[in-house]
Structure 1
């Protein structure tokens, strides 16, 4: 394991700077350490699709951010890895309300593999299952002066 993981609030701040959409949606990092992360998407009417269901794009964005949080939890908040694939299986509709994403790293190396379970904050029933892979990218060295 790398050095000590930053706090969830520190990871959230890094993510909001790196992905302004995560900030605009108000995605919260509840926990992130040891290759696991839990993120929360607050209720926002603009994330609904016709029929009053939380939209697929919102759930995919939440899953991607949650996996990044899981990576930050083992890379001390320093990670420039890139999503290479994301497959989502929608298992049941999510009614309006806050959404929880629980991410976990399954394999870490040049290719990173993980999964995310998405559910309503009001239920333990999984609404979407996500598998994702990422290409590990090392931070570019800073030029010396």
Structure 2
């Protein structure tokens, strides 16, 4: 069962990462999973008007990070050690991106999360990412 609620995670994000706290909306926390929305703005777009790859990576990364924290508590020093991301199709213009994460492994020192990114209201994913996190000893 999660140790942190959506409100707990929102407070944590605001306290530890105030520079991005308004970019992400935590929509759902569940056992070994989470759903997070990126409020897409002009600054997230690349030439051609589509959401940039680095922006999609950021959403995937934040989503796995928050999924892990939801399960282990507010441990700010968990860090990404690996990421694989496949960009599958152009995101729909003018819509937010929604990331749905399932933690595949949550060990004492490593966690692995699987993330699908969708344009809001579109069933086909725009990207798929798998991320590995290192959880510091004693965390």
TM-score, with structure 2 as normaliser:
0.88
Figure out how many residues of one structure are paired with residues of the other and give that number. 137
Q: Secondary structure at the match of 1:23?
A: coil
**Residue 11 of structure 1 aligns with which residue?**
9
**Residue 105 of structure 1 aligns with which residue?**
103
Structure 2: any 5+ residue segments left out of the alignment? none
Residue 53 of structure 2, aligned match among 46, 56, 67: 56
Q: Counterparts of 2:113 and 2:86 in 1: how far apart (Å)?
A: 14
**Residue 64 of structure 2 aligns with which residue?**
67
Aligned 1:86-97 pairs, distance under 5 A: 86-96=83-93, 97=95
User: Could you say which structure has the larger radius of gyration?
Assistant: 1
Q: Could you list the per-position Cα deviations for residues 24-46 of structure 1 after superposition, in whole angstroms to 9, with x for gaps in the alignment? A: 5x211111231101000012111
**Residue 125 of structure 1 aligns with which residue?**
124
What's the RMSD between the two structures over aligned residues? 1.8
Shift of 1:18: 2.2
Q: Could you list the per-position Cα deviations for residues 45-103 of structure 1 after superposition, in whole angstroms to 9, with x for gaps in the alignment? A: 11000111111111101111100111122113345311001111000011331000011
**Residue 20 of structure 2 aligns with which residue?**
22
Q: Counterparts of 2:6 and 2:118 in 1: how far apart (Å)?
A: 20
Q: Secondary structure at the match of 2:7?
A: helix
Q: Structure 1 residues 48, 87: CA separation in 2 closer, same or farther (over 3 Å shift)?
A: same
TM-score, with structure 1 as normaliser:
0.85
